[in-house]
Amino acid sequence: MSELCYKFQRVGSRVGTWIEKMASVVKIPKLMGKGLLIIAIPAIFQLIFGVSLAMLEARAEKAQKVERHSKEVLLILGNIESACYDVTLEVLRLSVEKSVRVMRTINAACQTLEASQNTLTKLVENDVEQSAHAATLKVVLTDFVNGTNRIIEAIKENNQLALTMAGLQMRNRALRFGAGEEQISLMRGVEEARLAANPIQTEQTQLILQMLMIGLICSTLVSIASAAYFLRDIVFRLYSISKNAELISLGEEMKPAMQGTDEIAKLDRVLHRMASNLIEASRRETALVSNAADVILCIDKSLMISSINKAAETQWNYTEDDLLHKRIMHLVPAESQDEVHRFLSSARNTSHSESADIPIICKNETVKTFSWNVLWSPEEDLLFCVAHDVSELRRVEHAKRDFVNMVSHDIRTPLSGMAIFLEMIPMGVYGELNDSGKSRASSLGSALNRIVAMVNDLLDIEKMQSGQFQIFKTNVDGDSLVKASLEMVQGFAEQQMIKIESQSTGGMLLCDEARIIQVLQNLLSNAIKFSDAGKTVILKLERQEDVTRFEVTDNGKGIAKDDIPALFERFTQAKGDDSKRQSGFGLGLAICKDIVERHSGTIGIISELGKGSTFWFTIPNTETEAPA
């Protein structure tokens, strides 16, 4: 049995080597090849074991067939002997007792003898030796049956002498098993010899048990060997990779990279490259943070500074040692400490970044304003902060607010008064003027109105930037909007000798009436300004299914495609060949765009050089949420 196990091991080793070679030929990944090897070796052993059992089973089945055949032949031979004995016995009884019952018994025995003889002939028809014996036996048994029939006839004729002699002969033949005793003995000897040569019940059973034991032992050994190979070659190396990953997380040096060309070795090398890249990225990140212009620091939940970059030295004039493990509130002016404390405490309760302006007392006793962006990290239990110096920006914003207030109160009010005064002069309120004076007063009034409009645009832009620009929606009739807008520019159109037409489908709109009129007035003024004398400007209102669309079409020189994208930006004007018409700050269309978008609408332009322009905008027919 040990020799058979050794053979199985050699076969399994050869098959494993063959699988590895095939894996390299067909370019199967090496780890997959090893997996196939681990699976294939036990499978090959099971296959060999199964084939061996199948062969043994075939042999056992063949032996059983031989045994069954021999037993059937012996059984038939026994039936023939018994039938011969019964016929002889009943014939003797018939000689004494002439009855129908005995005759029927003899006939039945003769039929059994004949049937057994036919069965025996069929059983041994493929056996040359036994078929010869069976043929001889058949002749003898035929004579025996014929002799029996003669005795029966003598009994029927009541020939007592013949019957007595035949009965004595029959008895002697029955005691010697007749003339076929020799053939029966020969056939029985052949079958018994075959049974003796085929001891299936012992040897076959023992062999099958041995094969089962061998297969079990071999399968167990192969499974253990495969598991050991798997643990040594795969699991241990995967453990090494996981250990390296743990070392990366701890910031410690990794174990050397594995040698080999399979996937696990490649994964380990990738992990080493990734660790190297992480170290380099961390180094660059540290350098970036350290050399950043903004102050970057971490504050713990007690508002202590746990780390800070070098920018604090240039921005706040403090060294790193001056600030580490110091409370940030010591750097905040007393009047701002409560507000700053609330801001930082609130930032710890949110998952997104928070921003606020926080004043800082620098080491030279100056106070600077910094824009702080703060994010709380629950994992680190720290506030990550970036402080950007906005002192100069806030100073400029404050100056701008002062300027806007000055423009609003100290410039617009007197200009508006002057414009009203110049409008009243031609009306004769302050006496009659000659035509030249009236013309001069009208020109000055127009100029003042343009200046007031420019100041109003500046104030509107400032309101938009500061969030003070508001929209108040009401239900407004579309025809009223068109009429009011035309009245606002009618005088300017007549002065420029431009004709204005309108087309309106009417209907009620939900909008800020004054602001929509402001948009239409601006678009109509631009159309009039950039149209040649004698041309027509058309204002169209069309109520559609979901929106109301306004269009202002002129017959001017059009706008180049390159200028259209920036047309609605602040302080931007389209380039033209008439420099006298380039007046204003370029804020009108930007204000129009903001007003339309606050109505949840859209604004645009369709223009082509030499064919005029169409400015359009839409607002929803029902109230929708305006963009922030």
Range of lowest pLDDT (216-230, 382-396, 476-490): 216-230
Contacts of 170 (CB under 8 A, 6+ apart): 88, 91, 92, 147, 148, 151
List of residues 6+ apart from 533 with CB closer than 8 A: 496, 497, 498
Torsion of CA 574, 577, 580, 583, to 10 degrees: 10
Average pLDDT over residues 242-262: 75
CB neighbours (10 Å) of residue 50?
Answer: 11
As a residue count, the chain comes to: 628
Per-residue 3-state assignment (H helix, E strand, C coil) for 35-48? HHHHHHHHHHHHHH
Kindly state the average pLDDT of the residues 455-473: 68
- Asked whether 225 and 37 are in contact (CB, 8 A), the reply is no
Confidence of residue 505 (pLDDT cuts 50, 70, 90): confident
Q: Which helix (H) or strand (E) holds 205?
A: helix 205-230
Please give the class, per CATH, of domain 291-389: alpha beta
Q: Residue 530 pLDDT more than 50?
A: yes
Mean pLDDT of the chain: 76
Q: pLDDT: is 503 or 129 the higher one?
A: 503
553 CA to centre of own chain: 53
Backbone φ and ψ for 534, nearest 5 degrees, come out as: 90, -10
Query: Is CATH 3.40.30.10 what the domain over 15-200 is classified as, yes or no?
Result: no
Would you kindly state where each structural domain of the chain is located, as residue ranges?
15-200, 256-290, 291-389, 395-463, 471-620
What pLDDT is recorded for position 549? 94
Q: How confident is the model at residue 265 (pLDDT cuts 50, 70, 90)?
A: confident
| Range of 11-25, 283-297, 567-581 with top mean pLDDT | 283-297
DSSP string of 448-480, one letter each residue: HHHHHHHHHHHHHHHHHHHT------EEEEHHH
Find the mean pLDDT for residues 203-213.
67
Handedness of CA 69, 71, 74, 80 (dihedral sign): negative
Residues 334-344 as b or e (16 or more Cβ within 10 Å = b)? eebeeebeebb
Q: How does pLDDT run across 189-198, given as a tens digit for each residue?
A: 888 887 777 6
What are the tokens at 392? 């100069």
Pair 528, 492: CB distance under 8 Å: yes
5 or 406, greater pLDDT: 406
The closest of 545, 554, 473 to 516, measured between CA atoms, is 473
| H or E stretch covering 332 | none
Q: Measure CA 266 to chain center.
A: 25
Q: Where are the alpha helices (DSSP H) in 2-29?
A: 2-25
Query: d(Cα 68, Cα 82) in Å, to the nearest integer?
Result: 21
- Give the three-class secondary structure for 558: coil
Residue-level pLDDT at 542 = 92
Pairs from 36-42 (Cβ < 8 Å, separation ≥ 24): 38/226, 38/229, 38/230, 40/15, 40/16, 41/12, 41/15, 41/16, 41/222, 41/225, 41/226, 42/219, 42/222, 42/223, 42/226
Question: Distance of alpha carbon 122 from its chain centroid, rounded?
Answer: 74
Residue-wise pLDDT tens digits, 147-188: 777 777 777 666 666 656 665 655 555 444 444 677 788 888
Torsion angle in degrees (nearest 10) through CA of 397, 400, 404, 407: 170
Using alpha carbons only, give the angle 442, 444, 449 rounded to the nearest 5 degrees.
95
- If we measure between CA atoms, which residue out of 122, 130, 134, 128 comes closest to residue 80? 134
Architecture of the 471-620 domain: 2-Layer Sandwich (3.30)
Please say if the pLDDT value at position 142 is more than 90: no
Residue 512 has pLDDT above 80, yes or no: yes
pLDDT tens track for 52-70 = 777 777 777 777 787 888 8
CA–CA distance from 298 to each of 250, 290, 320, 329 (Å)? 21, 13, 13, 14
Identify the three-state secondary structure at position 357. strand
Residues 51, 286: Cα–Cα separation, whole Å:
69
Give the dihedral sign, CA 332/337/343/347. positive
Residues of the chain above pLDDT 90, percent: 12
Predicted structure pTM score:
0.41
